[in-house]
Structure formats: C-alpha cells, structure tokens
Structure 1
Amino acid sequence: MERGASQTHRQATSLLLDKATPWNATAWSTRTVYPTIPPKVVYELTELGHSLTGLLTAIQDWSEEHQDEVLAARRAYDRRAAAEVEPVRPAGDS
C-alpha cells in the first residue's frame, strides 16, 4: 500500500509540475534552482499542493476502473472522425 501511495504521490507531483511554468507562481509548488553545472532545478509540492493528493488519487482510481471504456470510446471517436475526412486532392485534379 505504501508503495502505491508513493507512486501516486510521484504521479501527482509530475502531473502538477510537468511544464511547471504556469505553476511556479502558485501556492501549490516551490521551485529551487541550484547553481551547479549542469543546472539543477527541483520542484516540490507545498502543503497546499499535497492536499490535492486525495483528489488526484480519486481521478487515478476512476481512470483505472474505466480504462477499457475510455479506450473503446476513443477508438469509436477515431473511426467516426476518420470516416468524416475527405481525401486531399492535388491542385488541378478534377
């Protein structure tokens, strides 16, 4: 169980901080830059950010429970979208 919680925490942190630029100015995370070569940047969740773990765990649980349905819906959408696309013809072809 602890391993799963740790994995969920890493996934939540990654989700929140991936492409972290918009999050830098929030109370959800901190960004620490170390003056090393190569540069080292560490992003961490604040206490407020950690409070999102329960919500993100619930979303992850829902995703795992409904994965087959979501994938089936995605395949159905892709088939419908492909059927609606008209072939591209080179200019000058009639």
Structure 2
Amino acid sequence: MMVVNVWILVLIMFILGNMIFVSKHKHLLIVLLSLEFIVLSIFFFMVLLFNYIEYDMYMLMIFLVFSVCEGALGLSILVSMIRTHGNDYFQSFNLL
C-alpha cells in the first residue's frame, strides 16, 4: 500500500510540474524551476522503477548528468538574457 502512495506522489509531482510549466510563462526563472521539478519527478520515477525491476542504477547517473547539463544551459540563457535585456520577462523583447 505504501508503494502505491509513492507512485501516486510521483505522478502528482509530474502533473503539477507540467501545469506550472504551461501556465507560468511570464518569467524565464519560473519556467526553468518547473522544468527542474519535472526532471526531479522523472528521477524519482526511475528510482522506483529500477528498484521494482531490480535493475542497476548506472542509468540514473547518466540521467543526472544530462539534467545538470540542462540546468546549466538554462541558467546561462537566463544570465545572458538578464545582461542584454535587464530582466527575465518574456514580454520585454521581440523574437523577430
């Protein structure tokens, strides 16, 4: 029964992260935080899945490396956007 509650918690985390990603698109920092929350929920899902099927955890290390690279890339885009435009609003600049 406890395992089912953890699976439901991971599913709720994933859905909540996606809802924040879709609805809060005014600031880049909120979008990046919601993406990291989604990655964290996927990581928890993979931990539960790999423990359930008794698989090695090496794939989780590769997943964490890629998620750290994604976070560093997002922060570098955020820093360059703040340096060029002065804020992280999406409405303050034109993509065309």
Q: For this structure pair, what is the TM-score category when the shorter chain's length is used for normalisation?
A: 0.3 to 0.5
**Structure (1 or 2) with the greater strand fraction:** 1
TM-score, with structure 1 as normaliser: 0.33
Q: Which has the larger radius of gyration?
A: 1
Asked which structure has the greater RCO (Cα within 8 Å, sep 6+), the reply is 2
